[in-house]
């Protein structure tokens, strides 16, 4: 279904997105998105022996991943990514989507400088027992996927493709982001960017919204935005955690929509240096919103749309 969506399919996608996600950007894929999707879908990806890969220096986690059932792993690379995957073929599904996300971030945020001198690694497990083994070996538990620097690890059981696709989109967006920015933005901003950008890119690529892991907005009203920007850990409890992601996504959406991509990128770089939201806001957004109150008002408007639509 990746190629040749009928007009009807696209309209259905647009409709369901508008009803559920409460977002206000335009969801029809643009002609340039369609052209890029077609270009990427036509890429010929072929397997490469590990010793012929353009980058063979794996992190400790990467090495641990490939030790699990050592003989099962195949490898391939595209322009910006190297994928390690088991005998069951999920290669093109991931590497092409990653390339599209790469293009989309570059295009949306107007960032041109890729700062990493080697390709990013993607490790895909399709067997749940093996994924549990990997998590136990790395002390990371209860996740569907994780991005660490220039590597991304995930579970992708084909029979649970739909529910895994949102996590994959989100984490692959972190992976792409890490090629264009040095250092980590504060937690809310990092997650907000991943959620916002992943949703846009996923829709432009697949023509439908992804199965969200963060759609519970019941705790949204309890969030104090400024306090949230100071969090260095994720909130406890699934409702609070979900609201944290939604609020962060809305904040990023508001900043990008109202101030444009260049201002946003400058803001992100400032926030990487100093995570104080008010200082970063005053440095970049006073012209756009007059003051932080104006920004919060715009956020509230978006929050209401979400509650209304759910």
Q: Does 53 bind Zn ion (CB under 5 A)?
A: no
Smallest distance from Zn ion to CB 226, Å = 21
**Closest approach of Zn ion to the CB of residue 144, in Å:** 11
Nearer to Zn ion, 5 or 245 (CB): 245
Judged by beta carbon, residue 195 or residue 298, the one nearer Zn ion is: 195
Our CB check for Zn ion shows the closer of 5 and 197 to be 197
Estimate to the nearest angstrom the gap between the alpha carbon of 149 and the chain centroid: 13
Give the count of beta carbons closer than 10 Å to the beta carbon of residue 74: 16
Residue nearest to Zn ion (CB): 194
Minimum separation from the CB atom of position 34 to Zn ion (A): 28
Chain residues 271-300 in contact with Zn ion, contact rule CB under 5 A: none
Least distance between Zn ion and beta carbon 13 (Å)? 24
CA-to-CA separations, 46 to 49, 181, 199, in angstroms, rounded: 10, 29, 28
Q: Which long-range contacts (CB under 8 A, 24 or more apart) does 210-213 make?
A: 210/165, 210/166, 210/169, 211/162, 211/163, 211/165, 211/166, 212/21, 212/166, 213/144, 213/166, 213/167, 213/170, 213/242
Q: Considering CB under 5 A, how many residues would be counted as binding Zn ion?
A: 2
Nearest approach, Cβ of residue 173 and Zn ion (Å): 8
CA distance linking residue 144 with residue 126, whole number of Å? 11
| Measured distance CA(69)–CA(174) in Å, rounded | 27
Identify which of residues 74 and 215 has a Cβ nearer to Zn ion in the complex.
215
Smaller CB separation from Zn ion, 14 or 194:
194
**What's phi and psi for 83, nearest 5 deg?**
-115, 140
CB of 281 to Zn ion, least distance (A): 22
Binding mask 167-206 for Zn ion (x = CB under 5 A): ------------------------x--x------------
Closest-CA residue to 280 (of 189, 199, 196): 189
Q: 86 or 145: whose CB is closer to Zn ion?
A: 145
Q: How many Å apart are CA 253 and CA 308, to the nearest integer?
A: 18
Residues that bind Zn ion (CB under 5 A): 191, 194
């Amino acid at each position: 279904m990746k190629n040749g969506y009928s007009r009807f399919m696209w309209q259905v996608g647009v409709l369901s997105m508008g009803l559920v996600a409460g977002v206000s950007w335009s969801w029809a894929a643009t002609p340039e998105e369609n052209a890029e999707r077609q270009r990427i879908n036509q890429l010929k990806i072929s397997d490469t022996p590990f010793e012929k890969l353009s980058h063979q220096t794996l992190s400790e986690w990467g090495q641990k991943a490939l030790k699990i059932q050592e003989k099962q792993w195949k490898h391939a690379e595209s322009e910006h990514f190297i994928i390690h995957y088991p005998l069951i073929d999920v290669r093109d599904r991931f590497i092409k989507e990653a390339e599209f996300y790469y293009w989309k971030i570059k295009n949306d945020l107007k960032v041109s400088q890729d700062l990493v001198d080697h390709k990013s690694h993607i490790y895909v497990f399709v067997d749940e027992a093996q994924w549990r083994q990997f998590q136990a070996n790395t002390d990371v538990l209860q996740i569907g996927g994780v991005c660490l620097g220039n590597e991304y690890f995930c579970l992708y059981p084909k029979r649970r493709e739909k529910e895994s696709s949102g996590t994959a989109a989100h984490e692959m967006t972190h992976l792409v982001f890490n090629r264009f920015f040095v250092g980590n933005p504060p937690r809310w901003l990092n997650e907000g960017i991943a959620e916002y950008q992943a949703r846009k890119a996923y829709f432009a690529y697949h023509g439908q919204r992804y199965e969200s892991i963060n759609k519970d907005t019941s705790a949204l009203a309890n969030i104090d935005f400024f306090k949230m920007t100071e969090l260095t850990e994720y909130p406890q409890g699934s409702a609070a955690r979900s609201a944290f992601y939604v609020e962060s996504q809305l904040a990023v959406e508001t900043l990008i929509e109202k101030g444009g991509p260049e201002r946003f990128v400058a803001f992100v770089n400032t926030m990487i240096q100093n995570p104080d939201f008010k200082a970063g806001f005053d440095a970049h957004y006073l012209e756009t919103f007059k003051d932080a109150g104006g920004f919060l008002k715009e956020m509230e408007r978006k929050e209401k749309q979400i509650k209304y639509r759910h």
